[in-house]
Amino acid sequence: MASPAIDKVVSQVFIEKALQDFYCHGGTCAGWERNVVDQPGAVKKIISNGADRIAAGIGVGEELIDKDVARMIDHTLLKPEATPQEIKKLCEEARTYGFASVCINPCYVPMCKDLLSGSKVKVCTVIGFPLGSTTTEVKRYEAEQALKSGAQEVDMVINVGMLKQKQHDYVFNDINQVVLAAKKFGAICKVIIETALLTDEEKIVACMLSKNVKADFVKTSTGFSKGGATAGDVALMKYVVGSTVGVKASGGIRTTEDAKLMIASGAERIGASASVKIVKGEAVAAGGY
C-alpha cells in the first residue's frame, strides 16, 4: 500500500484533471501518434518548442550540425553487439560535432571516459537497461559503479510492472535510490518510463514520481520495447513535469516521410538513430535503439 504522501502525488483526481487540462485546453498534441524524428528541420522546430535533450546514434552528418542542436544530442549506441571500435567512432563523432554526451552500455564507461578526456562531451550510461526489472539494490550499485568509473549521466529504467500494479512506493524508491546515487556524484539522472507500455494515466504517475524525487529528466523509451517516443507522449510528459524537469525522447523513426509528418505535427522532442540515412532519404533497417 502506498504511503499517504505518495497517494497525494498520484491521486486519481490529479490524474484526471491533468488529462482534462492537457487534452481540452493545451492539447495541440492530443492524439498524435508519430515517432520522434531525426532530421534537421524537425530538430530545430523541436528545440524552438522547448527541447531539453535529444538522442541520436552513430552516423550523424554535417546536415544536422548546428551548435545549438548538437549540444542537446545524446549520441547513442546501446545495441548488444556494439563493438569497441564502434564505440570509438561514436566518441570521435561526439568530439567532432560537440554533442552533449555519448550514451553507451556500462561496460564502455571507462573507455569513453578516456577517449573523451579533455572534451566537453559527457559520458552517459544506462541503468537497469532495458527491462527495468532488476532489484532496486542492484540498480543503485550499478549506478554507483558506473559513476565511479567515469559516468556523468545515468539513464535508469523504472520497474514498469510495479508501476502498472500501482506499487507506487516501490517505484518511487526505485527511482529515488538511483537519483540519490547520481546526486552523490554530482551527476544527472534521467528516468526512462517506457511510454509504449503505459496508459496516459500511468505516464502521468511515472512523471510525477520522477519529478518528486528530483530526477533531472524523464525519458520516453529504451528503444528496445514495442514502440518509441510519440509527439503526444512527449507533450504530455512536458505538461506534467513543467519547467523544472527536462524531457528526453528516444526511439526514432526510419523514413523521411515519417520525419516530414512529425514536422507537420509540431513535435517537441526527438530521438534518433541512423541519422545520415534518414536525412538522405535512404532506407533504414528496423530494430535497435
Strand residue runs (E) in the chain:
53-57, 73-77, 101-104, 122-127, 153-157, 188-192, 217-219, 246-249
For the four alpha carbons of 196, 255, 121 and 104, in that order, the dihedral sign comes to positive
pLDDT of the residue at 131: 98
pLDDT at position 94: 86
Q: Which of 45, 122, 190, 248 is catalytic?
A: 248
Report, as an integer, the average pLDDT of 44-53.
Answer: 56
DSSP secondary structure string, 89-115?
HHHHHHHHHT-SEEEE-GGGHHHHHHH
CA dist 37 to 26, 42, 242, 265, 275, Å?
22, 7, 22, 11, 9
Q: What's the whole-number mean pLDDT along residues 159-179? A: 97
Burial (CB count <10 Å: 0-12, 13-18, 19+), residue 280: exposed
**Is residue 276 predicted with pLDDT exceeding 60?**
no
Provide the percentage of residues in the chain whose pLDDT is more than 70: 69
Q: Does 155 participate in catalysis according to the annotation? A: yes
Which residue has better confidence, 206 or 71?
206
Position with higher pLDDT, 287 vs 207: 207
Kindly tell me if the per-residue pLDDT of 48 is higher than 90. Answer: no
Which one is predicted more confidently, 172 or 46? 172
Quote the CA–CA distance of 62 and 40 in Å, as a whole number: 10
What pLDDT is attached to residue 169?
Answer: 96
The pLDDT, as a whole number, for residue 122 is 94
Examine the residue annotation and report whether 45 is marked as an active-site residue of this protein: no
Cβ 70 vs Cβ 51: under 8 Å: no
Cβ neighbours of residue 98 closer than 8 Å, sequence gap 6 or more: 67, 70, 71, 120, 121
Residue with cell 514520481: 209
pLDDT at 156 over 60: yes
pLDDT score at 254: 47
Q: What integer pLDDT is reported at residue 70 of this predicted model? A: 63
User: What is the distance between the alpha carbons of residues 156 and 273, in angstroms, rounded to a whole number?
Assistant: 20
Domain 4-279: CATH superfamily is Aldolase class I (3.20.20.70)
Specify the range with the lowest mean pLDDT, choosing from 46-55, 72-81, 84-93, 184-193: 46-55
Closest by Cα among 267, 279, 258 to 45 = 267
DSSP state of 189: E
Q: What is the pLDDT at residue 50?
A: 54
Q: Which of 155, 174, 233, 258 is catalytic?
A: 155
Is 219 an annotated catalytic residue?
yes
Asked if 189 and 154 count as a contact pair (C-beta separation under 8 A), the reply is: yes
* Whole-number pLDDT of residue 38: 43
The active-site residue out of 45, 219, 238, 277 is: 219
Whole-prediction pTM:
0.82
Q: Write out pLDDT tens, residues 3-31.
A: 777 877 888 888 988 888 887 765 544 44
- Three cell numbers written together for 43: 530538430
Q: Are 132 and 148 in contact (CB under 8 A)?
A: no
Per-residue pLDDT tens digits for 181-238: 999 999 999 999 999 999 999 999 999 999 999 999 999 899 899 988 677 888 888 8
The answer to whether 162 and 199 are in contact (CB under 8 A) is: no
| Averaged pLDDT, 71-97 | 89
